[in-house]
């Protein structure tokens, strides 16, 4: 795939906690189930969250939405704690046509700024608005989860 064929979504948010806590929330199955998926974010049930947090390791986040199981899958491409996390992103039924997500975390006085960049596969270009909305909702949930001391 050529880079110019991708549609990019970019979301930034300030979170009042350390970059280490923000970074670790992306690789902790218990925390992922609190902020990325489940009833705190949308009307769905978490079926299974599994991950192998190393470069080349894979993840699978299975949720049940509207009676249908959806398996969000990917492979970790970059893990640079606490600054950057990169991974592919897709659903099991669409692999190998995945997209790429890069999470950058910058320390700020009193917290962190997190930026999520999501390069959508060309077939998903029409989903850019929904993707941006979903990441915004997840980052809001991440901020709330971490501010509650989880």
- Please report whether residue 118 resides in a domain: yes
β pairing state of 99-108 and 58-65: unpaired
The answer as to whether 122 is a domain residue is: yes
Structural domain includes residue 147: no
Query: Domain for residue 114, yes or no?
Result: yes
The answer as to whether 132 is a domain residue is yes
Q: How far is CA 5 from the centre of its chain?
A: 22
Overall domain count for the chain: 1
The CATH number covering residue 94 comes to: 3.30.530.20
Answer yes or no: is 17 within a domain. Answer: yes
Put simply, whether the predicted model's pTM sits higher than 0.85 gets the answer yes
Domain hosting residue 133, numbered range: 3-142
What does the pLDDT profile of the chain (150 residues) look like in tens digits?
A: 344 457 899 999 999 999 999 999 999 999 999 999 988 888 999 999 999 999 999 999 999 999 999 999 999 999 999 999 999 998 998 777 779 999 999 999 999 999 999 999 887 888 899 999 999 999 999 999 998 865
| Cα(43)–Cα(145) distance, integer angstroms | 17
Distance separating alpha carbons of residues 61 and 92, to the nearest angstrom: 10
């Amino acid at each position: 795939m050529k880079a110019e064929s991708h549609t990019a979504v970019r979301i930034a948010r300030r979170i009042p906690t350390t970059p280490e806590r923000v970074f670790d929330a992306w690789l902790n199955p218990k925390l992922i189930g609190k902020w990325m998926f489940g009833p705190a974010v949308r009307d769905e049930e978490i079926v299974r969250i599994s991950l192998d947090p190393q470069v080349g390791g894979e993840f699978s986040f299975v949720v049940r939405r509207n009676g249908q199981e959806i398996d969000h899958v990917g492979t970790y491409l970059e893990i640079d704690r606490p600054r950057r996390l990169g991974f592919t992103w897709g659903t099991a039924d669409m692999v190998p046509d995945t997209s790429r997500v890069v999470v950058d975390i910058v320390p700020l006085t009193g917290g962190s700024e997190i930026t999520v960049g999501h390069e959508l596969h060309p077939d998903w270009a029409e989903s850019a608005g929904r993707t941006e909305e979903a990441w915004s909702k997840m980052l809001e949930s991440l901020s709330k989860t971490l501010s509650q001391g989880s």
